Amino acid sequence: RGCRVVTVSSLAHEGGKIDWNDINFENKKYSPSQAYNQSKLANILFSSELAERERDNGIRTYALHPGVIPTELGRYIEETYGKLVQNFMRFVVLPFSKTIENGAQTSIYCCVEESISQHTGRYYSDCREKLASKAALDKESAKRLWNLSEKMTKLI
């Protein structure tokens, strides 16, 4: 009895908005940044709703922002946003990014830190609890996304 579900999200969730009428970009032009931001918001909403559903079963959930780390996420920046954005990322953002090992610290913290073992449905960054965006704190959206996910995955 008692486990932790740790969901990696991103600070980018703050720019996210769930498009309930076209969640998969089927009827509008696909935007990589909108899709990414929406998915990171959805990760926090998932964690929040899972916390509500499993609160009495000893399951604790944590969502987190690992920080900016040099991963393959940026491999299509030039073709998506152009050379200017790619150079900005390369010369301005990446020099201040975390190492992969440092980026993993908040994930590890949420997995093993005893002082948060009774917390659930919260958001963390830099091994500290942070306040997620207003959209990420919307309990009705969390429930709505859960129900939509069940329908889309045919779990109900």
Residues catalogued as catalytic = 36
Count of CB atoms within 10 A of residue 14's CB? 15
Which of 50, 59, 54 minimizes the C-alpha distance to 118? 59
Asked if 60 and 118 count as a contact pair (C-beta separation under 8 A), the reply is yes
Which string of DSSP letters, residue by residue, matches 13-26? GGG----TT-TTSS
Task: Say which DSSP state 53 is in.
Answer: H
